[in-house]
Structure 1
Amino acid sequence: MLIGFNAPTAGLLAAPEHLTRLVVAGEALGFDYATFSDHVVIPVDIQAKYPYSATGEFPAGSRVERHEQLIEVAFLAAKTTRLRLVTSVMVVPHRPAVLTAKMLSTIDVLSGGRLTVGIGVGWLKEEFEAIGAPDFTQRGKVTDEYIKAFIELWTKERPRFAGEYVSFDNIDFSHKPVQKPHPPIWVGGESGPALRRTARLGDAWYPIGTNPANPLDSLARFKTQVARLHKMTAEAGRDPKAMGLAFRCTALGEKVPPKAGDGERRLFSGKPAEIAADMRALRDMGVGSLDFGFGGATVEAMLGEMQQFKKEVLPLL
């Protein structure tokens, strides 16, 4: 099982010197990958509902200065040598398809094949409107089409595509990505459409456990959704056994409520031994990648949590 950590793209810890120190130290500590979130702008007045809070409100702490996701990933690719770099997630409709495919391919080449493309459809309507993205109501269709276009560009010697939202022909697209056939595509989201998108187009499913509309806060709930994914994957004509599983945990330890919404034990709550047991259970289910949002208002505090996790939890796996 690969273990990752969230790298800040916004706020004080995203200052170049702090960000570099965190990510380089994370690599030195033995973490396998870092994750990077995606917003281009944050509208002042938000009516859209944030999927990962009970109130639907976007966290006030997220209304801070931030970097563009892919440029930050490229910056940190140059600061590291082994660490994988995961877009977590890239909002696919935010950027034109061909340009995005080129940027991602370039990152993969320059990093020596260390990119994982975590993708999502987005939730912030006002942001779509501000940056001139395609119609928010069509974001699912746009995302599916763009992903297909990415794969065409990354894998075909003479790529061509004729869709509703993207079209190209008579072009040479190179360099191709280092990873073959292309960088892994992890599909974020917990809804039925996200599962269907994963089944048709993804290399792995990459949910967050704290979506109130589709909670995955217990092992039982996660198992149920994985069974749904496997059924959809088979129906899509693909091998369920080949479908990867990744998982994102935003909080862990004794500060987390001990019970999930279904009355079962809440994943990643409790003491180090209990967290390690959850990790083993997920690994036995086929989860190959698991990342954590370590807290801390300073570099020292965040690195302290990462070091404590390495010392107290990882030896118990």
Structure 2
Amino acid sequence: MGQITFGTTLRGTSGIAEFAQNVENLGFDVLGCGEHVMFHTPVANTFISLSVAAGATQRLKLLSSIVLLPLYPAALAAKMGAALDVASNGRYMFGVGIGGEFPKEFEACGVPVNQRAARTNEALDVITKLWTEENVSYQGRFTTLNEVTIAPAPTQKPHPPIWVAGRQDGAMKRAAKYANGWLPYMFTPEQLHASLETIHRYGDELGRDMSTFTPGVFIFTSVHANGDTGRQRCIEMLSRQYNQDFTKLVPRYALAGTPEECRKRLQEYVDAGAQMIILAPGCAEEYADDNISLVAKEVIPEFR
């Protein structure tokens, strides 16, 4: 196995440039940002926030974690992804998911929530073509293209890496067909290992060479010298963010506790196959700087 790639995510919607510079200086490889149109808490747009981060940094890869792809016309998502890849000099990573946990935002965007998987699959087909071909014509269920060219094309060739996120079987099939990597969230190491076996099986059925496919995992992380404090901060943040009680879920799905406890748990994910690990802040914004500093200095070095 090669070098493990480590990332974190933006902790909020302001102070992006400064936070991104700090993340880069701490030695992280990747900075992620998710999105919603609306959610239980204030939330960013991945393209906008990562564009700010791109202008403030030199080498950090910039990961959409994730684009809610069914909410975009496929050609528009292709244009925005290509534009961000060009603006960042080839540092963009296109992470996608289907969403659905907040149906009101689908209604607001005029997209039936039960079409989200089908729209995402078609969009990935369209976007891959638009990123690699000129004068693309396409007739699909949701997309009609008549000799469309996205210019400038993405800087990365053949295109920015596509990461499929999710937890369900449909997402695994999507990853096997369209993606360069798999980025599940709220996953145990055991689930990660099992999902990778499933994805490789689907890839083999499609006749795809999966040798360069990259397994990843997205983990909410709260590190503190006092393990109980780290865990409690994580429970409070995720319970608020997802509007449900995370008391029993944090020990299962998050990385929370002392640096030593987090290193031990992280090793289980590495053993399960993770090669890109996104350690998203799992605590309130006022603790985020201290949290990622502890992650960078007392958790990650053991895996370098």
Give TM class, smaller chain.
0.7 to 0.9
**Residue 290 (structure 1) shift:** 0.4
- Indicate how the Cα distance of structure 1 residues 93 and 131 shifts in structure 2: closer, same or farther if over 3 A, else same: same
Task: Give the structure 1 partner of residue 196 of structure 2.
Answer: 226
Q: Give the Cα separation in 2 of the matches to 1:250 and 1:104.
A: 25
Task: Give the structure 1 partner of residue 279 of structure 2.
Answer: 292
What RMSD, in angstroms, separates the aligned Cα atoms of the two structures? Answer: 2.5
Task: Give the structure 2 partner of residue 51 of structure 1.
Answer: none
**Residue 310 (structure 1) shift:** 1.9
**Residue 180 (structure 1) shift:** 1.0
**Residue 283 (structure 1) shift:** 3.5
Q: Give the Cα separation in 1 of the matches to 2:77 and 2:90.
A: 17
Q: Is structure 2 residue 52 aligned with structure 1 residue 75?
A: yes
Deviations 1:17-60 (A, max 9, x none): x2222111111111111111111134xxxxxxxxxxxxxxxx5x
Structure 2 unaligned spans of 5+: 233-247
Q: Is structure 2 residue 151 aligned with structure 1 residue 174?
A: yes
1:129 aligned counterpart, secondary structure? helix
Q: What is the percentage of aligned positions where both structures have the same residue?
A: 28
Counterpart of 2:105 (choices 109, 112, 127) is: 127
The TM-score with structure 2 as length reference comes to: 0.83
Q: Give the Cα separation in 2 of the matches to 1:296 and 1:284.
A: 26
Answer yes or no: is the 8 Å Cα contact 2:34–2:45 preserved in 1: no
2:62 aligned counterpart, secondary structure? strand
Q: Give the Cα separation in 2 of the matches to 1:90 and 1:266.
A: 22
Task: Give the structure 1 partner of residue 294 of structure 2.
Answer: 308
Answer yes or no: is the 8 Å Cα contact 1:273–1:316 preserved in 2: no
**Residue 158 (structure 1) shift:** 2.6
Q: Is structure 2 residue 37 aligned with structure 1 residue 40?
A: yes
Q: Give the Cα separation in 1 of the matches to 2:176 and 2:222.
A: 29
Task: Give the structure 1 partner of residue 20 of structure 2.
Answer: 23
The 5 Å alignment of 1:180-199 reads 180-199=157-176
Q: Give the Cα separation in 2 of the matches to 1:312 and 1:245.
A: 23
Query: Aligned AA for 1:303?
Result: D
**Residue 92 (structure 1) shift:** 0.5
The TM-score with structure 1 as length reference comes to: 0.80
Q: Give the Cα separation in 1 of the matches to 2:204 and 2:160.
A: 23
- Indicate how the Cα distance of structure 1 residues 205 and 266 shifts in structure 2: closer, same or farther if over 3 A, else same: closer
Answer yes or no: is the 8 Å Cα contact 1:267–1:275 preserved in 2: no
Structure 1 unaligned spans of 5+: 43-58, 210-215
1:178 aligned counterpart, secondary structure? coil
**Residue 269 (structure 1) shift:** 5.1
The 5 Å alignment of 1:11-160 reads 13-15=12-14, 18-42=15-39, 59=40, 62=41, 64=42, 66-123=43-100, 124-132=102-110, 134-160=111-137
How many residue pairs were aligned?
Answer: 279
Task: Give the structure 1 partner of residue 6 of structure 2.
Answer: 3
Task: Give the structure 2 partner of residue 243 of structure 1.
Answer: 213
Q: Give the Cα separation in 1 of the matches to 2:253 and 2:120.
A: 32
Normalized per residue, the structure richer in helix is 2
**Residue 153 (structure 1) shift:** 0.4
